[in-house]
Amino acid sequence: MAILLNNDGQWHDQWRAAIKAHMPGRAVIEYPDTPDPDVIDYAMIWKHPAGDLERYPNLKAVFSLGSGVDYLDAFPALPDAPIFRLIDPNMAEDMALYTLYWTIHFQRLFGTYHAQQKNAEWARYPTPLAHDYKVAMLGLGAIGSHIAKALARNGFDVSGWSRSPKSVDGVKCVYGPDGLQAMLPEADVLICCLPFTKATYEFLDHAILSQLKRGAALINISRGAVINEDDLLKLLDSGHIGGAALDVFHTEPLPQSSRFWTHPNVHVTPHMSGATNPDTAVQIIAKELAGFENGIMPPYPYRRED
């Protein structure tokens, strides 16, 4: 029997090496070279083609190589085998460091100082201490909670919003429409870590984003489609949103014609805030797969939204 491997066709040599190191003896078949579908009993996939998983009659379980579920939500049908999300603490910490970097960037006015440097201008401005700088986190799942706690440990005043009640150490947790309405006007920076689902498609539109105080910043490490990009650009143009660090976009790679590339108050990164590391990911999957074979379900099952 064998593992079907497809990381959107990328870095398969690294994934193979990690599987060899941490799952010795497991045969690996790379998609699309699957001459005998009967030999596939597990799949490790990311952005896999819809419908293909139904070809493998002996498929026992599917391990998605990331925490996002939007590509699975797009499948018209799912296999009978259970699907599990990957939550890698190393990836979560990488995203926390990315978010901390940009939070400090906006708190300490580093964009202003960079602009001054071009004109050899020496001027200093008062900046708030971390405990006076209010960070609002949208989404308190496994990754959002980790990031919120990391920011709180670094002294920031962190609030977190979710649709239902949550409790996160060091974080002021709010929920529901009333909690969101209370949190947004106080925020100096809004961090989006929402999952992309039908309910969150363009959730951050003009009506939501305009509730931020004038000059507040935005960091998006979720999915591009969670934001109405036209509304965001209008608020950036008006100065209502003072700056944005965007790692994800509706269309990726970001088209060269996009105004985000040239907007003076936007920082673009190419969806790299929390890349999956094959070695650490396979260590997690190897442990979960061994547990699964002994009747222990992995901790993060995928459930399709109704």
Residues with a known catalytic role: 223, 271
Q: DSSP H helical segments within the chain, as ranges?
A: 12-22, 70-73, 89-107, 110-118, 142-153, 176-183, 206-209, 229-238, 278-293
Measuring CA to CA, which residue among 167, 183, 178, 234 is closest to residue 205?
234
Please, what sign has the CA dihedral across residues 128, 212, 205, 166? positive
Structure tokens at 83: 């699907």
CA atoms within 13 A of residue 232's CA, in its CB half-sphere: 26
Peptide bond into 76 cis (omega under 30): no
Structure tokens at 295: 């009747």
Measure CA 157 to chain center. Answer: 22
231: how many CB neighbours lie within 10 A of its CB?
Answer: 18
| Contact status, residue 112 vs residue 64, Cβ threshold 8 Å | no
The label of the residue with tokens 């006076």 reads 132
Angstrom distance (rounded) from CA 210 to CA 239: 11
Angstrom distance (rounded) from CA 173 to CA 95: 20
